[in-house]
Structure 1
Amino acid sequence: MNIAIVGAGAIGGYLGVKLALSGNNVTFIARGENLKAIQANGMTLTMEDGTSLHAPQVKACTIDEATPHDYVFLTMKSHQVSPVAEQIGRLCHDKTAVVTLQNGVPWWYFYNLVGEYQDRQLSSIDPGGAQWQHIGPQRVIGAVVYPAAELVAPGVVKLIEGNRFTLGEPSGEKSERVTALAQAMIAAGFKTPVSTDIRSELWVKLWGNLTFNPVSALTHATLEDICNFDLTRNLAARMMAEAQTVGEKLGVQFKISIDKRIAGAQAVGAHKTSMLQDIEHGKALELEALLGSVIELGRICNIPTPTLDSVYALTRLLEQSVLKKGKGLSLD
């Protein structure tokens, strides 16, 4: 199986090493020092128990140098996809499947979704329709990413925990292409169920991300701190309730309660969310994919989201301030 991984960071490196070592032809699409390191030494993965896996034979190139592949994994952050959407289209032949591994609401959300909103496009996460036009929703296999990993040095990834990636066609069918990919990932050592309702699977993770990521960015608090403090715990519950109303309007099934979802986040402990880490490092946020898109979905189906609107406005201003200053903001 010929696989291109666009974004050879933490999750991309984790996937690429294990898929390469199980016999697939893997090409990392990278840049800068990371590209040089992979070209020179391959990609190295440090597992949870400290053991090291090395994939020396993987290819690495820039996106402009890449050729078409059978599967293209997009492992960068959501806001990084649109600027390279046209180049991603060049990685595809007629039967290429593009696996979207971004957090949040995907740009293809309404593709093949039966109902009044079918094939509607989302401007918050696909401004100008670049991804819809150049990548094409018909190529998409949706994915939910559960592992946590870190790019600790150019060409070196450390797995923190997890090995589950849920896949699903937007149509809900168990197609030949998604089944073949799941089998290849299982052979590489991943837990890879194929869902017939990938949107509901996406919402389970999104439900926590849209809440705890911006609240942590604003407060510099860990998941444990947010859930143990009554005022922010109640804020999280209100945000989840508004999002649940939007999701259910669109046919999503929430299989756990808000209290259980908050308890799950609390159990993670003193963990800094990715959005808080981005604020500390002065980086752009995944705010549109995690929260702005949910607000847009609410507007589309006429559901008010006053709490989400307020948290979005505050977090957007925080991001703007950090980017304008050109440096991160940390309490450490």
Structure 2
Amino acid sequence: MQKDIKLNNVKGVLIFLVVFAHLLGVSKSGLENMIEIIYSFHMPAFIFLNGYFSKRPSIKKVINLILLYVIFQTFYCVYRYYAGNFSVIQFTYGSPHTHLWYIVSLGSWYALAIILKKINVRKILQAALLILLLGLSFYSRFYADQIIDFIKIYYSNMHTQTLSILRTFVFLPFFLAGFYCSKDIMNKIYSSLDKFKFKLFFTLSVSVLVFIILDEYNDKFDQLFFGFLGYQKFHIENLSYTGIVLFHYSLAMLGIYLILNAVDASKSKLTQWGENSLAIFLFHMIFVFPLFNHNSWLNEQNPDTRLIICFTMALGITYLFGSRAFNRIVKYIIYPMRYLEIIYARLLNQTDRNDEYKKRHIV
């Protein structure tokens, strides 16, 4: 139970960082390094935890994610028109709105987890599939632009963000790492930095080092960490593709390691945010999208002031959508399969009642 609380606390920190990073992205001048540090590990960490909690994947979860995507993609198509982001309402389902890429990719990863579970007894086949997938993931960005250009010959609307295809490959290793991470391994991660001074020292040291590295190449690494752009967008002279991608993956795994150690296991508001992270994730852009067209007041502030404003707004948004009251209201929207099961059970019950009624009144 203690470890469940701890992981919920980690999810609580991560979902706050998701909201915070999106707000910072509205007016990021002077805050690029802060955004890059957050993006370097916060989604990989979320994906790792989703893999860890996917030991029992099911078709029901995949269907729930498909329904979620259709519902919220439709909602944001309309909402962004009224928010001023689009001049017309267009119902597009091939290009996920900003954050909804994660729902699409998660559905793909869950489907893959089902396959991996099915072939679990065939170790050689499973190992071959994993090696193939990891190879595709690692080199996906190297060949992405050429593959997309080829597909465009037949489908002109194709790009690296179509149905989150590139991100699905790029971030797949973190899902697999979580999927194959046992409780024993997780316990060893928890206990490896068991003293506060070690946690503080490692976290601060890594943060300073990463900040220095990112400051050197701050016009490139944001393109790298987003995960949806091909190699041409983050190519750095005198640095190889292999070295850059290894840096990305290593930095993300280091960030995951540190946050798992830094967050404690005591129950707090973070626990509630972690439990309700899906609602926060799906709804927080309601406040962010309008800012893209009405951010002049934010741009007028200096970076330090904008940092404080965005941090305060992120706290408020996370607190609102992470509340139990809000989640009671939207529980059937964010878990549509649950609602469909209730409807099906009631219809089945009504059918049984009708059959029983007919039997009793047969003359």
The question of a shared fold, defined as TM-score above 0.5 by the shorter chain, is answered with no
Return the structure number with greater strand share. Answer: 1
The structure with more helix, counted as a fraction of residues: 2
What's the TM-score, normalizing by structure 1?
Answer: 0.24
Point out which structure has higher relative CO (alpha carbons under 8 A, 6+ apart).
2
The structure that has the greater radius of gyration is: 2
